[in-house]
Chains A and B, each alone.
Chain A
């Protein structure tokens, strides 16, 4: 029942906002719908934690500890982003960058995007997972091009084509998965694509086909997760769209894509009993971290900077999942959570900063601490958090990952450390003058909506200091599920 509300609520919201999205009270309605979604997610979480895995609706939907925490995370960030977007989009409209029609599109697509992501997280059917991932891309393409500038059109085009080609590879992988499943499970039609069924028989699936399927699935869903070398669309799409969309893309869509990869990895590892999936994940992860760290030095646009940071962190997560084992999986799940919260917080502050300065170029943003102390501190805290400074949660997860790497994959540790160090320097070098430099902009009369920022950062700080036992158990259960070497 909670699942029904969870999925129907944003869908209904999308339809309603499609009609009324330009009214004065539309942003409030948006927040209300997100709140309802979040409450449904909480209820669902409580139920699953209490009574165990849920399989509903003719086995098409499946909730276990792994995806339920992602569901609540998604709903939470969706709620806070909608809170942030309320005044932000108002200011954008006053600046004339969006019109009434586009605002309608924005609100309805936002809720539609939430629906598709939640559907992707909770579905049991690998085919429907694919459909939902593609739908998530499609619902955000028009949002990336919302401002209709040449740069945003180019970003939207790259996003569409590159993710489209990537997802076509994933479709091929899904077909191969179905092919392998059919041989073992028989041609029962729908049930051959159900993850629960596949998980039960994964030892009997044909290794050759499954290996090939995994390659395609990793390339396909990895494109959507921003793993190098298929990450080209990410910096543009995250930088050119409106800030709430950047936050949601960075914080949520990447997580869902990694989730899809990991679901496949569980199946493949059970079938192959070889190190191929782990090695591939680790390879792609490391490549992403290194490439992102190097590219971070050349950035001049604040949102592009943090988009590359997202690629880097996704690389770390992929690497951790590649290593496998209880500790690494736990750390990766924790990292997914804290990265999501921190990155969206950063994008909120960056959005406000660029709105105040009237430009996204970091050279034009200076002296935030004097201009608006809340934004200045928010950006500073957020950057410190994402760079892995203690006592924030990112430090905890990165520490766990690094120690596990030193134990199990010592060759990777210097690379990781070097990349992290380079990224630290690159980001800090840019943030420091932005926050503490000479003040150049003028104060805007609107108070920035920074409650979400500090709420996120508070959670991240809390997670860095102390992980409540139910959360730790939650993570451990999910880590056990994911398994690995």
Chain B
């Protein structure tokens, strides 16, 4: 790798930093920091897409990079920050495992992800095929982040991080999906976030908190009856 051109080295650096960020998100408990880390992740994706666009001279990658910048670096973090301020959720509660345990689990997951991505890397013909393993690792680490959290907001950030990982995987394996698909995916993510915003307010209204243990009461023998007279306002 020492003799590789500068843009490939920068891409590798972006990938390594993405992995580091995913671990940082795993350990982070301040929700504001989580969203900032998500924004930095988006920025790294933007840089990586730009580098790839310059390297392969494919115009649709420039559009993709611009879309990433607009959506993942600017709009989504802004939306999440606004939600945090209005809902007043700043801290997550203790995660299920302690920090050291979570880190070790993360390492195991990363090794598994690298193994999973091996056959794909072998078959890929892109210059960035080595970073597919890191993309899969980011996806799996975000998944671990999601399941070790209790606050709804942290789970959403984990979900968005998973999308980032998938996007990076698409980029390193196939130089990005067709433009129409990328637009569709971006639209879906955007609408999902908007729906979530509305949803959080509904949850907040009902439970006065965004702690998810309120949302774990539905069991097989749930006896909750639909309210006879619900609130009139929507």
Binding site for B on A (CB under 8 A): 95-99, 101-102, 105, 125, 127-128, 130-131, 134-135, 138, 141-142, 145, 147-158, 160-161, 164-165, 168, 171-172, 174-176, 178-179, 182-183, 187, 189-190, 192-193, 206, 208-209, 212, 236, 240, 295, 298-301, 304, 358-361
A193 with B196: CB separation less than 8 A: no
A101 with B221: CB separation less than 8 A: no
Count of chain A to chain B residue pairs whose CB atoms are closer than 8 Å in the complex: 178
Given contacts A148-B231, A165-B159, contact A179 B173 (CB under 8 A): yes
Task: Name the interface residues of B124-163: CB closer than 8 Å to any CB of A.
Answer: 124-125, 139, 143, 146, 152, 155, 159, 162-163
List, sorted by A's number, 11 A–B pairs whose CB atoms are closer than 8 Å. Answer: A131-B187, A141-B195, A147-B226, A147-B227, A149-B206, A149-B230, A160-B196, A189-B60, A190-B180, A299-B220, A300-B221
User: Which chain A residues lie closer than 8 Å to B195 at the CB level?
Assistant: 138, 141-142, 160
Report the bound CA distance from A260 to B172 in whole Å: 26
B215 with A131: CB separation less than 8 A: no
A236 with B180: CB separation less than 8 A: no
Given contacts A95-B228, A154-B216, contact A135 B191 (CB under 8 A): yes
Report the bound CA distance from A160 to B215 in whole Å: 13
Closest Cβ neighbor of A105 among chain B residues: B234
Q: Which of A101, A154, A172 has most B Cβ within 10 Å?
A: A154
A128 with B234: CB separation less than 8 A: no
User: Which chain A residues lie closer than 8 Å to B206 at the CB level?
Assistant: 148-150, 153
User: Which chain B residues lie closer than 8 Å to A193 at the CB level?
Assistant: 177-178, 181
- Known contacts A148-B202, A175-B174; 4 further A-B pairs (Cβ under 8 A): A127-B180, A127-B185, A168-B162, A182-B174
Report the bound CA distance from A138 to B189 in whole Å: 10
Could you tell me the distance in whole angstroms from the C-beta of A149 to the nearest C-beta in chain B? 5
Given contacts A148-B206, A154-B218, contact A168 B123 (CB under 8 A): no
Q: Does B198 contact A (CB under 8 A)?
A: yes
Interface of B is mostly: helix
A131 with B226: CB separation less than 8 A: no
B178 with A189: CB separation less than 8 A: yes
Given contacts A155-B218, A156-B199, A171-B185, contact A208 B225 (CB under 8 A): no
Q: What 7 A-B pairs have minimum CB-CB distances, sorted nearest first?
A: A127-B181, A131-B184, A101-B234, A154-B215, A151-B224, A190-B178, A134-B188
User: Which chain B residues lie closer than 8 Å to A135 at the CB level?
Assistant: 188, 191
Binding site for A on B (CB under 8 A): 60, 116, 119-120, 123-125, 139, 143, 146, 152, 155, 159, 162-163, 166, 169-170, 173-175, 177-181, 184-185, 187-188, 191-192, 195-196, 198-199, 202-203, 205-207, 212, 214-218, 220-234
Select one of B174, B181, B222 contacting A131, CB under 8 A: B181
User: Which chain B residues lie closer than 8 Å to A190 at the CB level?
Assistant: 178-180
Interface of A is mostly: helix
Given contacts A149-B224, A153-B203, contact A131 B188 (CB under 8 A): yes
Closest Cβ neighbor of B230 among chain A residues: A97
Given contacts A138-B195, A299-B220, contact A96 B229 (CB under 8 A): yes
Report the bound CA distance from A141 to B200 in whole Å: 12
Select one of A97, A127, A178, A209 contacting B123, CB under 8 A: A209
Report the bound CA distance from A350 to B124 in whole Å: 53
Closest Cβ neighbor of A156 among chain B residues: B199
Report the bound CA distance from A209 to B162 in whole Å: 21
User: Which chain A residues lie closer than 8 Å to B202 at the CB level?
Assistant: 145, 148, 153
User: Which chain B residues lie closer than 8 Å to A299 at the CB level?
Assistant: 220
Report the bound CA distance from A183 to B120 in whole Å: 12
A175 with B225: CB separation less than 8 A: no
Report the bound CA distance from A157 to B119 in whole Å: 36
A157 with B223: CB separation less than 8 A: no
Report the bound CA distance from A359 to B180 in whole Å: 46
Report the bound CA distance from A152 to B215 in whole Å: 10
User: Which chain B residues lie closer than 8 Å to A212 at the CB level?
Assistant: 116, 119-120
B215 with A153: CB separation less than 8 A: yes
Report the bound CA distance from A193 to B205 in whole Å: 43
Could you tell me the distance in whole angstroms from the C-beta of B217 to the nearest C-beta in chain A? 7
Report the bound CA distance from A145 to B123 in whole Å: 45
B181 with A360: CB separation less than 8 A: no
Could you tell me the distance in whole angstroms from the C-beta of B198 to the nearest C-beta in chain A? 7
User: Which chain B residues lie closer than 8 Å to A99 at the CB level?
Assistant: 232-234
Given contacts A97-B226, A183-B123, contact A175 B234 (CB under 8 A): no
Report the bound CA distance from A208 to B233 in whole Å: 54
Report the bound CA distance from A360 to B223 in whole Å: 9
